[in-house]
Amino acid sequence: MIKYTDEHLLIGQIGTFFTLLAFAAALVAFFSYYKTTQLSDTLEEKPWKLLSRGAFIVNAISVLALFVTLYLIIYNHYFEYKYAHQHSKRSLDVQYLLSCFWEGQEGSFMLWGFWNAVIGLVLLKYAKKWEAPVMTVVSLLQVFLASFLIGIYFFDQRIGSNPFVLMRNEFPDAPIFQDPNYLSKYLTDGNGLNILLQNYWMVIHPPILFLGFSSAVVPYAFAVAGLWKKDHKGWVRPVMPWALFCAGILGLGIMMGAAWAYESLTFGGYWAWDPVENASLVPWLLLVAGIHTLLIFQSTGHSLKASYAFIALSYLLVLYSTFLTRTGVLGDTSVHSFTGEGSTLYWHLIIMMLVFLIAPLVFYFKDKKNIPVEVKEENLDSREFWMFVGSLLLFIAGLYIIILTSLPFFNKLFGTKWAIGEDVEFVYNRIMILVAIILGVLTAMTQYLKYKNTTRKYLWSKLWIPSIVAVVLSLSISYFGGIQYDKYGMGYLAAIHLALFSSVYAVIANFHYLASIVKWKMKAAGASIAHVGFGMMLVGILISSAKKELISENRTGIAVAGLKDAKGKDEDPRENVTLIYNIPTPMGKYTVTYLGDSTVEKDDRVYFKIKFLKTDTSDNSITEEFDVRPNAFLMKSGEGTQLSSNPGARHYLSNDVFVYITSWLNPDNIKDTAAFNYKTVSAGDTVFYSNGFIVVDKMLAANKNDNKDLPVVDSAWLSELSVFAKDGRKFTSTPAYFIKDGGSSVKTDTIMEQSLIFALERKGNEVKLGVKESNAVMRYITLKAYRFPWINLLWLGTIIMVFGFLLSMWNRLKAKLYVV
């Protein structure tokens, strides 16, 4: 038996113990809460409830211990553990060690379980009579989340993946593990963190997103509890604060992901309808639809069944999104990177989804006849009718998105070959632009409607001012803003202008509602504030997308081949400008200069400095000057060193300039294998090269006796060359050849823009011109740059919308509307 050195086994044993304890405690809590729910006698309930609470608290403590234990393994670089070796590295900054934690499957499930435990502890205190049925669902979720981490075998089938497994146990046949000193000899460092995750947004985005996912179980649990206990009205009040909290936090998490994409990916924006983005958006859409139908039910008694459906579906889609993004069924259709063993998770997640699908269906059909339904139809001029239309539209939008997102899964399931097509964004946008038009108008008008019935006179008296203001303002933006995005024809352009009007209308009308009806009373302002934020988001999306300006239009004549974007697709050389070191280059309205690059010890990135100048054409005065500092990771592969770029941006109130590097050539890293091609020349001769031709203007011979300007050498042969490139540019060069004390020396001259090196050589009485074309001459970068006008409206709108959701939640808690 080999006695290994330098291993830290105790911390892994502690982690494994708490993994099993968390699973066992969750099972006990689930069963005990189930028994408590089924019992009707208070005396019989009490011991079961005490056991349930104790078990759940043990589970929560165990999950916290797991969290701390795994982080300590990563923080201390214990590379004997597979998880630390796969996801971390000694050179990583401390803040990115948290990103290592949730990069892998096990860590992300642990983060999910951590938030679920925190939420469960809150429910223990505040759920009151709903504690037992709601916590039955929450505890069941904890059972599944813990099962993803236990990593035990059941009839040759492994259940879960233990994050505390040792490398030598996972790969026992590897030769390095025959050496007791393998840690100090071979596993001195880890594989490191995915370069896309080495961004500050990925330190804060996943915890917020997972808090949103975790909190989505609470509305679902209340809906199941309402069906289970046949209390179809009682669950609505206590669920509303949780639903609002989840909508706010999940929305914030999604938009944090958009901010990460904007700063870390190179597809030139913040949203590309990537499958992982879509999978997180759809549950939010269904949850917001459910919130609105719950409001309808509270006020009119309508839409209870719809509320059950939307709330249940929102959480089922959280589970489905987990299935899509973590089992590998999406293939290579997503730019997001997820690690883990998809095959071991496939059936595990299928079973989890089925359990959470079957439970509400069983309870629903058992008591379907007793679910209250309002027989009277809603009036067309009532608030509840148009709120339901909006909710239904959100559902349809979510359904459209999730079906298209699931095509790779459907293809694997049914053996089909359905595909969206090349222009993925347009396939989604052509429908979502219509959704935005309708939602914008509904968001503007619906709050002015009264429940059950509204007279047209009343509605017009409230809406005429915001309507006129919205028309004038949107027309001004359309006309003076120069929105002429006609890539997909005039019909799509018209839809953009209509959507712009409806979005502006949503902002103005809700702002007016706050001022004229709510009178800025915060206890009733939450919904209007959220609507203002939503409208601002739509305005920001429309303007920044329709007016997104490519400023790196290539007019230099230099085209670099083989450029790739973040999705691995070929970049158009006409949209990428090559900047030669320290040479100012015109680029749209700017003159851009590549000032240099630098590296930092123990950092795999190269940091670039690019100077932008904007001048007034009338007097050449500088009107704008700034530096942009993008960076890129250097990745070594079989094809050489590849770049993975992180964009740099210059932020203004009204726009962002967004820049990323698509190629980099540093001559210090290139071996020059090119040779000089010599030809005998004299004044007036012409020599051709691959990108143009060279004219020998002068060829002079001199010696120190005849020329007093040659005191240092004995004799010299001097030349003046004119170089004419194919693109019309002209350059000059002056190579020379010297003799002193019987020895010779050559003065070469370089034209970096053309990758040319010139030299002279003397053979007898002849002078030869040497021409060498070499990539090792030129130091350059190639970049792509965009300008996003009014992008800050999107980020500001997000903050306002989230604030509106949380304010509504707080107002309901403060008014104790959640107490039953």
Q: Tell me the per-residue pLDDT of 755-808, one tens digit each, with 9 for 90 and over.
A: 888 889 888 778 899 998 876 666 788 999 988 899 999 999 999 999 999 999
For residue 463, the model assigns a pLDDT of: 92
Residue 739: in which H helix or E strand, if any?
Answer: strand 736-740
pLDDT at 196 over 90: no
Interatomic CA distance for residues 627 and 609, integer angstroms: 7
Range with lowest mean pLDDT among 138-152, 559-573, 724-738: 559-573
For residue 708, the model assigns a pLDDT of: 61
Instruction: Give the pTM.
Output: 0.85
Interatomic CA distance for residues 9 and 383, integer angstroms: 63
pLDDT at 340 over 50: no
- The answer to whether 541 touches 816, Cβ cutoff 8 Å, is no
For residue 660, the model assigns a pLDDT of: 87
Residue 721 bridge partners (DSSP): 696, 733
Interatomic CA distance for residues 142 and 148, integer angstroms: 10
What is the 8-class DSSP label of residue 819? -
What is the 8-class DSSP label of residue 625? E
What is the tally of helices (H) and strands (E) in the chain? 21, 23
Instruction: Encode pLDDT of 378-433 as tens digits.
Output: 788 889 999 999 999 999 999 999 999 998 888 888 888 888 887 888 999 999 99
Residue 819 — very low, low, confident or very high, per pLDDT cuts 50/70/90? very low
Percent of the chain residues past pLDDT 70, beyond the cut: 92
Instruction: Give me the mean pLDDT over the 107-121 stretch.
Output: 95
Interatomic CA distance for residues 749 and 779, integer angstroms: 16
Q: Give me 817's structure tokens.
A: 């509307």
- The answer to whether 539 touches 483, Cβ cutoff 8 Å, is no
For residue 617, the model assigns a pLDDT of: 65
For residue 640, the model assigns a pLDDT of: 54
For residue 345, the model assigns a pLDDT of: 80
Instruction: Encode pLDDT of 606-643 as tens digits.
Output: 899 999 998 776 666 778 889 999 888 877 655 556 77
32: left (phi over 0), alpha (psi -120 to 50) or beta: alpha
Q: How long a stretch of residues is the chain?
A: 820
Buried b (16+ CB within 10 A) or exposed e, 57-68: bbbbebbbbbbe
Residue 336 — very low, low, confident or very high, per pLDDT cuts 50/70/90? low
Residue 737 bridge partners (DSSP): 717, 746
Residue 337 — very low, low, confident or very high, per pLDDT cuts 50/70/90? very low
Higher pLDDT, 61 or 372: 61
Q: Give me 748's structure tokens.
A: 């070469």
- The answer to whether 442 touches 538, Cβ cutoff 8 Å, is no
Residue 276 — very low, low, confident or very high, per pLDDT cuts 50/70/90? confident
127: three-class secondary structure by DSSP: coil
For residue 434, the model assigns a pLDDT of: 95
For residue 503, the model assigns a pLDDT of: 96
3: three-class secondary structure by DSSP: coil
For residue 252, the model assigns a pLDDT of: 96
Instruction: Give me the mean pLDDT over the 536-549 stretch.
Output: 92
Interatomic CA distance for residues 674 and 340, integer angstroms: 46
Residue 583 — very low, low, confident or very high, per pLDDT cuts 50/70/90? confident
Phi first, then psi: what are they for 717, rounded to 5°?
-120, 120
pLDDT at 339 over 50: no
pLDDT at 452 over 90: no
Place of tokens 């002056």: 734
For residue 639, the model assigns a pLDDT of: 53
Interatomic CA distance for residues 412 and 406, integer angstroms: 10
- The answer to whether 214 touches 115, Cβ cutoff 8 Å, is yes
Interatomic CA distance for residues 234 and 627, integer angstroms: 59
The pairing of strands 640-646 and 692-703 is unpaired
Instruction: Encode pLDDT of 368-378 as tens digits.
Output: 888 988 877 77
Residue 651: in which H helix or E strand, if any?
Answer: strand 648-651
Residue 57 — very low, low, confident or very high, per pLDDT cuts 50/70/90? very high
Question: 95 Cβ partners below 8 Å, 6+ apart?
Answer: 200, 203
